[in-house]
Amino acid sequence: MPELDLTFRQRLGWIAHVFKAATQNHHPELERLFAPMIARDAVVADVGAHAGQFAKIFARLAPQGRVYSFEPASYALSILPHVLAFNGMKHVSVEPYGLSDAPGHFTMSTPLKRGRAEVGFGLAHLGVDDDKRPMRVETIEVRTLDSFADAARLDRLDFLKADVEGWEARMVMGGRSTLARFRPTLFLEIVESSLARAGSTGADIFELLSPIGYRAQKLNPDATLTDVNAFSGDSDYLFVADRG
């Protein structure tokens, strides 16, 4: 376990988080939804990997491909490799930084719950808000998707999922060349209150993606999709571009 500044109770919570993340499989409805979209040799970007639930889905769907899991938060980064190792997922690479519209460093805040006894690492975020809970605060690195694609010498990118607590629009801005080149299917969480932390809106994402040929579908509560022409409320959205 990497050195983390945790109390004894928080360390017990860390052990529980590792066990649950390694042994439980979440989002089976999304795995079924993604299955026709992700080939066995696909290259997938999991932006905001957290404890690896989506990385596990992508690794199962693309056993002959490659999954790049981007996660900048130290607490999640201390968990993610254990989860991948436990599940034997050697074709998943952990990228220990976030993606934004420009390289740099930001302050990440992670709420502490239950009287500081538990690290709420699923709520870690950049930017400011009015959350009054005590926080773990750290400096994290961000890069751009375009710079990653160049450094990794990507020759394809088939699918990208992003759940980055409001940094989705900035991630798209920093990856426009890569998206235009490879035209991957995108699965993005779009929540207005979270986007506001980065000075963005849901409409911004549509305005960035529409000119490069993306059309959108909104995820419904029953895991079906509805075609939309614009942002139509907080949800997950699937963006598909014509590759022809």
In the prediction, which pLDDT does 117 show?
A: 66
pLDDT of residue 169: 97
Q: Edge-to-edge, what's the strand order for the sheet holding 92-95?
A: 92-95, 66-70, 43-47, 159-162, 185-190, 235-241, 214-219, 225-228
Query: pLDDT (tens digit, 0 to 9) for every residue of the chain, 244 residues total?
Result: 446 888 888 888 889 999 999 999 999 999 999 999 999 999 999 999 999 999 999 999 999 999 999 999 999 999 999 999 999 999 999 999 999 999 999 998 888 887 676 787 777 878 766 677 788 889 999 999 999 999 999 999 999 999 998 999 999 999 999 999 999 999 999 999 999 989 999 999 999 999 999 999 999 999 999 999 999 999 999 999 986 5
Domains within the chain, CATH numbers bracketed? 8-241 (3.40.50.150)
Tell me, what's the pLDDT at 1? 40
Q: Which residues contact 20 (CB under 8 A, 6 or more apart)?
A: none
- By the 10 Å C-beta count (0-12 exposed, 13-18 middle, 19+ buried), 194 is classed as buried
What's the distance, CA 74 to chain centroid? 15
- Tokens coding 201: 């809106």
pTM of the full structure = 0.93
